[in-house]
Amino acid sequence: MQLVVEELTHKGLEELMQARVFGPLGMTRSSMTWSLKFEANHAEGFAENEKSLGPQRRLRADAAGSLLTTPADFSKLVEAVLQGRGLKPETKN
Protein backbone atom coordinates (compact mmCIF):
# COMPACT_ATOMS: atom_id res chain seq x y z
CA MET A 1 0.00 0.00 0.00
CA GLN A 2 2.87 2.39 0.81
CA LEU A 3 4.36 1.87 -2.63
CA VAL A 4 1.00 2.49 -4.32
CA VAL A 5 0.44 5.73 -2.39
CA GLU A 6 3.96 6.96 -3.11
CA GLU A 7 3.65 6.12 -6.82
CA LEU A 8 0.26 7.84 -7.15
CA THR A 9 1.27 10.99 -5.27
CA HIS A 10 4.91 11.12 -6.42
CA LYS A 11 5.81 11.87 -2.79
CA GLY A 12 7.53 9.85 -0.09
CA LEU A 13 5.69 8.56 2.96
CA GLU A 14 7.49 10.88 5.39
CA GLU A 15 6.57 13.94 3.31
CA LEU A 16 2.95 12.81 3.04
CA MET A 17 2.62 12.07 6.75
CA GLN A 18 4.11 15.44 7.73
CA ALA A 19 1.80 17.32 5.34
CA ARG A 20 -1.43 15.38 5.88
CA VAL A 21 -1.25 14.03 9.43
CA PHE A 22 1.53 15.23 11.72
CA GLY A 23 1.44 18.91 10.69
CA PRO A 24 -2.33 19.44 10.71
CA LEU A 25 -2.71 17.63 14.05
CA GLY A 26 0.19 19.45 15.71
CA MET A 27 2.16 16.23 16.16
CA THR A 28 5.56 17.92 16.51
CA ARG A 29 7.31 14.88 18.02
CA SER A 30 6.28 12.38 15.35
CA SER A 31 8.04 11.16 12.24
CA MET A 32 8.34 8.11 10.02
CA THR A 33 12.13 8.45 10.04
CA TRP A 34 14.76 9.18 12.70
CA SER A 35 15.45 12.86 13.25
CA LEU A 36 18.30 14.50 15.13
CA LYS A 37 15.66 16.24 17.26
CA PHE A 38 14.97 12.83 18.84
CA GLU A 39 18.61 12.21 19.76
CA ALA A 40 18.52 13.93 23.17
CA ASN A 41 15.09 12.64 24.18
CA HIS A 42 13.95 9.14 23.23
CA ALA A 43 12.85 5.89 24.80
CA GLU A 44 14.82 2.69 24.41
CA GLY A 45 13.65 -0.87 24.50
CA PHE A 46 15.37 -3.51 26.57
CA ALA A 47 16.00 -7.21 25.93
CA GLU A 48 15.20 -9.97 28.42
CA ASN A 49 18.79 -9.77 29.71
CA GLU A 50 18.21 -6.07 30.53
CA LYS A 51 20.54 -4.98 27.71
CA SER A 52 19.46 -1.79 25.94
CA LEU A 53 18.30 -2.30 22.36
CA GLY A 54 19.04 1.36 21.65
CA PRO A 55 16.86 3.68 19.61
CA GLN A 56 15.62 2.53 16.20
CA ARG A 57 17.31 5.07 13.92
CA ARG A 58 15.41 4.24 10.73
CA LEU A 59 16.37 6.52 7.89
CA ARG A 60 13.80 5.15 5.43
CA ALA A 61 10.07 5.52 6.02
CA ASP A 62 8.32 2.17 6.34
CA ALA A 63 4.55 2.17 6.83
CA ALA A 64 4.78 -1.24 8.45
CA GLY A 65 6.68 -0.02 11.47
CA SER A 66 8.87 3.06 11.37
CA LEU A 67 6.51 5.47 13.16
CA LEU A 68 8.28 7.37 15.93
CA THR A 69 5.95 9.25 18.23
CA THR A 70 5.15 10.15 21.81
CA PRO A 71 2.10 9.23 23.89
CA ALA A 72 0.94 12.86 23.69
CA ASP A 73 1.28 13.01 19.90
CA PHE A 74 -0.31 9.61 19.40
CA SER A 75 -3.29 10.67 21.51
CA LYS A 76 -3.80 13.59 19.10
CA LEU A 77 -4.05 11.10 16.23
CA VAL A 78 -6.45 8.81 18.08
CA GLU A 79 -8.64 11.74 19.12
CA ALA A 80 -8.79 13.07 15.55
CA VAL A 81 -9.71 9.66 14.14
CA LEU A 82 -12.41 9.10 16.78
CA GLN A 83 -13.88 12.53 16.05
CA GLY A 84 -13.53 12.10 12.30
CA ARG A 85 -11.51 15.33 12.13
CA GLY A 86 -9.94 15.77 8.71
CA LEU A 87 -11.84 12.81 7.27
CA LYS A 88 -14.58 12.77 4.71
CA PRO A 89 -17.83 11.42 6.22
CA GLU A 90 -17.68 8.32 4.00
CA THR A 91 -14.09 7.68 5.12
CA LYS A 92 -15.05 7.95 8.77
CA ASN A 93 -17.97 5.57 8.27
Cα distance between residue 31 and residue 10, in whole Å: 19
Range 71-91 average pLDDT:
91
Hey, where are the domains in the chain? 2-86
Read off the pLDDT of residues 23-78 as tens digits, 9 standing for 90 and up.
Answer: 999 999 999 999 888 888 888 889 999 998 888 888 999 999 899 999 999 999 99
| Cβ neighbours for 57, distance < 8 A, ≥ 6 positions apart | 34
Q: Taking residues 66-92, what's their average pLDDT?
A: 91
The model carries a pTM of 0.82
Q: Does 88 have pLDDT greater than 90? A: no
